[in-house]
Amino acid sequence: MKTSFFRVCLVAATVIGFTLPQAKAQHPVFSVVSVHDPSIIKTGDTYYVFGSHLASAKSKNLMQWQQISSSVTNNNPLIPNVYEELKETFEWAQSDTLWAADVTQLADGKYYMYYNACRGDSPRSAMGVAVADNIEGPYKNKGIFLKSGMEGTSNDGTPYDATKHPNVVDPHTFFDKDGKLWMVYGSYSGGIFILEMNPKTGFPLPGQGYGKKLLGGNHSRIEGPYVLYNPDTQYYYLYLSYGGLDATGGYNIRVARSKKPDGPYYDAEGNPMLDVRGKEGTFFDDRSIEPYGVKLMGSYTFETENEKGTGYVSPGHNSAYYDEKTGRSYLIFHTRFPGRGEEHEVRVHQLFMNKDGWPVAAPYRYAGETLKEVKQKDITGTYKLIQHGKDISADIKKTINIQLNKNHTISGEMTGTWKKTGKNTAEITLAGKKYNGVFVRQWDSVREKNVMTFSVLNGSGEAVWGSK
């Protein structure tokens, strides 16, 4: 009797011992940080993000983040005594804060922080580089290499013109597939530009002025450029933010691509991005630019029955990361939230390439999910659908209800067809438009369970997300 009872207890304890940790492991744990304009770099086994106002954070897994620094003060560990160290920058920019930083590691093993400051109500800005032996600092200033917003002669030897010349902020420095170092930068004003850099010094190669223009002009609201090469598609992807960054600014994430790091870049419809700018004589003319570029994400909310739902307001100023070991890509950005004003946090979403070689973003934040084979019976059912469109708007996109039926039709508030074209690839037709992307099971943190989702893109560069 005692023996059999002991066996039952032992078996029960073993089962509990094995099932509890697994159940717990399936419930992802997140910790959040605030870094505006987060630019990612991985060193060793740790991811770091650096952003505006000398804010930074780190993570081992892209889910649990730890804040390192948060504001421009002389006690900031990244650049101690920053107001003295970067005195010339603050004086030129007539500012007491710093904008979107970017950190890269060069062949000497040191970390190069590209810092910048801007007056804000004009493109009077300065950009320079500071260097550290340790990624967490302290960084020592090496000097300014670009200025903008001046009265008189600009960096390219001609009188500064804010409709044509760049605002020298928002840098991203990257190596191309051949090992050349480049820096893409710019915000509003005359557009987005690219410079070839010296990989030994971290400064631009001489004689380039402001560099080569990629897109923008006439104060069109395009900023936060970030370039990432994908060896699978052999394209350079230029990520951009359109619109205004605040909760009513309609910030949204877009992408264009090129076979060369310095362009020309094109969108999904084949439009040359070099032609994308505000109309002559206009200021912040969003209508001129909104048809161009592939829009990956804007403001939205997933409502669920009897629950608050989850969503973002003005997501943008992203960076992106490609993991050579796993072949996975990630989108890292800051976002505001419905009903929470200007409060913002860092978010990470996994990216997948569709059959046309364009990235699609997973609908929910990264929780360790992987692309796996999905079965038809797991796909069919009722979905909440988000249509991101192409507009630049303060409106928060709301969901509509559709059903993916067993006979491959789509019914509900939109009609069409669907099919699984591979292990997890999706082809969806809605209102006569064909979309391509992926089916992926993801963690929905509101409902606290894994759900089937899809993320697809059409030939006009409009993203659609579904959550079952």
Q: Active-site residue numbers?
A: 37, 223
H/E stretch holding 18 reads helix 2-25
CB burial of residue 305 (10 Å; 0-12, 13-18, 19+): exposed
Q: Which residues contact 371 (CB under 8 A, 6 or more apart)?
A: 352, 423, 424, 438, 440
Question: d(Cα 189, Cα 217) in Å, to the nearest integer?
Answer: 6
Cis amide prior to 199 (ω within 30 degrees): no
Question: d(Cα 75, Cα 126) in Å, to the nearest integer?
Answer: 22
What's the token pair of residue 106? 């060069």
What's the token pair of residue 455? 């993320």
Q: Which residues contact 328 (CB under 8 A, 6 or more apart)?
A: 322, 350
Q: Which residues contact 50 (CB under 8 A, 6 or more apart)?
A: 35, 38, 39, 41, 56, 78, 101, 102, 103, 113
H/E stretch holding 242 reads strand 235-242
